Amino acid sequence: MPILETKDLGIQFGGLKAVDGLYIKIEKGQLYGLIGPNGAGKTTVFNLLTGVYQPTSGSFYFDGEQISNSSPVSINKKGIARTFQNIRLFGDMSVIDNVKVGFHNSYKYSMLEGVLRVGRYRKQEKEYHDKAMELLKVFGMENEAKLLASNLPYGKQRKLEIARAMATNPKLLLLDEPAAGMNPNETAELMETIRFVRDNFDMTILLIEHDMKLVSGICEEVTVLNFGTVLAQGKTETVLNDPKVITAYIGEDD
């Protein structure tokens, strides 16, 4: 059973079909790429899958369960977490607190226990503090734990977004242009980290990316979107060499 399956998924804003008739099947443990030129509707697909937008047609299934039309909160609780293309960190909070926000639904103590500092509070705060530090270590940010998130350099902000999303303990991680604004060295390092995360945290990853090196380097399968519809789909090497895809990206020969 695929972990994520969309059936004829689409959304229409007024007369504009931003996404139309999308069929994607992602198997558990896969690294799946979603690519396409600017304005193709990639981020809109993410917004549909995380409940930010409600689809106007079709539906999608997560782990066999139909969850289209759910709220962002309940979709996250089901096990889908995401990062954002335009970084959306909690800027006035420390780096480690950003990760702890991701753990929010894992904490089991009540508000009263938190206020009175009794019961499960101390044990769980310690437990998730250590877990948060572990996650930060994966991204090489353990020394920045106390900094304000908004004071981090750009590349690290992107990494913190991934760490925060992972803290919600998802089965499926949606990464929206994780390498945007990174130099080639940072991108290579990020590729390693993404692979490491997939292998060690038992996660399925769907990512949007413009960096073809990264896509061809780590994605096993890709879907190419153009003007909201699927242009090509399948094994990464096959798709990236497809003349239709090349045309969509660099224009037609005269």
Partner 1 sequence: MSKKIKSRNLDKYITYSFLILIFVISQLLVMTGVASNKFEGLLVPISVYVLLAVSLNLVVGFSGELSLGHAGFMCVGAYAGSLFSLLMQNVITVWWLRFPMAIIIGGLVAAVAGFLIGIPVLRLRGDYLAIVTLAFGEIIKNLFNNMYLAIDKNGVFFSMNASAYTKHAFDAATKQDLIKGAQGITGTPNDSNFVICFIVIMICVIALLNLIDSKTGRSIKAARDNRIAAEAMGIDVTKAKMTAFVIASFIAGMAGVLYSHNLRTLVASKFDYNLSILVLVFVVLGGMKNMRNVIIATIILYALPEALRALNDYRMLLYAIVLIVMMLLNNNDKFAAFKKKLSIKALIARFNTKGGVK
Residues that bind partner 1 (CB under 8 A): 50, 52, 71-73, 76-77, 81-82, 84, 88-94, 96-97, 100-105, 107, 109, 111, 114-117, 121, 125, 129-130, 133, 145-146, 164-165, 167-168
| Residue 91 CB, nearest approach to partner 1 (Å) | 6
In angstroms, the CA 247 to CA 56 distance is 30
Closest to partner 1 by CB, 145 vs 188, is 145
Beta carbon of residue 142, minimum distance to partner 1 (angstroms, whole number): 9
Work out the burial of residue 10: count CB atoms within 10 Å of its CB; fewer than 13 is exposed, 13-18 middle, 19 or more buried: buried
Could you tell me the smallest distance in angstroms from the CB atom of residue 73 to partner 1? 5
What values do phi and psi take at 159, rounded to 5?
-65, -40
* Cβ 50 to partner 1 shortest distance, Å: 6
- Cα 72 to the chain's mean position, in Å? 13
Closer by beta carbon to partner 1, 106 or else 193: 106
C-beta closer to partner 1: residue 89 or 240: 89
Helix/strand/coil for 221: strand
Nearer to partner 1, 1 or 115 (CB): 115
Output 66 or 71, the one with its CB closest to partner 1. 71
Residue for token pair 């443990």: 29
Kindly tell me the burial class for residue 108, based on how many C-beta atoms sit within 10 Å of its own C-beta (0-12, 13-18, 19 or more). exposed
CA 224: distance to chain centroid?
17
User: Which single residue is written with the structure tokens 């697909």?
Assistant: 45
Specify whether the CB–CB gap between 84 and 175 falls below 8 A: no
Q: Smallest distance from the beta carbon of 98 to partner 1, in angstroms?
A: 8
